């Protein structure tokens, strides 16, 4: 992990923050077997899938949850996972949609939960997804 961070600091890449986030997930994923991620139906846009991602299926084997369009549910579930312990959950959606998850985000902060929340597409200059996504 320290080697990865040192490389980035020595030669910072000029890439989108979501790509930088994906690079970090790719670097740390193999080092953190407790890493359990998911996205609110935006994984291809948020770049939260990594080479070791395996969708959780009926037998619960895997490390990636496809939540669908449910930001509040995703964040509340991540809170529960963090409270249970044993996992380091990460979630992702567009920054605009954090409004739907606000109460769960607030509770995570109040409870000082150990989890990663990735919010992308935070610019008014991003127009390809339309005004509802900005």
- For 91, half-sphere exposure in the C-beta direction (CA atoms, 13 angstrom radius) is 30
pTM beyond 0.75:
yes
- Domains of the chain in start order, with CATH, are 2-133 (3.40.50.970)
pLDDT tens track for 28-62: 999 999 999 999 999 999 999 999 999 998 878 89
Q: Are 25 and 38 in contact (CB under 8 A)?
A: no
Torsions phi, psi for 69 (to 5 deg): -85, 80
Torsions phi, psi for 56 (to 5 deg): -70, 130
pLDDT tens track for 10-25: 888 888 888 888 999 9
Just list the catalytic residues. 71
Q: CA 127, CA 121: separation in Å to the nearest integer?
A: 10
């Amino acid at each position: 992990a320290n080697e990865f961070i040192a490389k980035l600091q020595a030669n910072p890449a000029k890439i989108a923050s979501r790509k930088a986030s994906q690079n970090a997930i790719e670097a740390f994923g193999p080092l953190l077997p407790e890493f359990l991620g998911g996205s609110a139906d935006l994984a291809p846009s948020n770049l939260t899938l990594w080479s070791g991602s395996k969708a959780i299926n009926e037998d619960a084997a895997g490390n990636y949850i496809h939540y669908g369009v449910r930001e509040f549910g995703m964040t509340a579930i991540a809170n529960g996972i963090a409270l249970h312990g044993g996992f380091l959950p990460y979630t992702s959606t567009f920054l605009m949609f954090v409004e739907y998850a606000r109460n769960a985000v607030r509770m995570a902060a109040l409870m000082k939960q150990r989890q990663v929340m990735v919010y992308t597409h935070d610019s008014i200059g991003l127009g390809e997804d339309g005004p509802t996504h900005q």
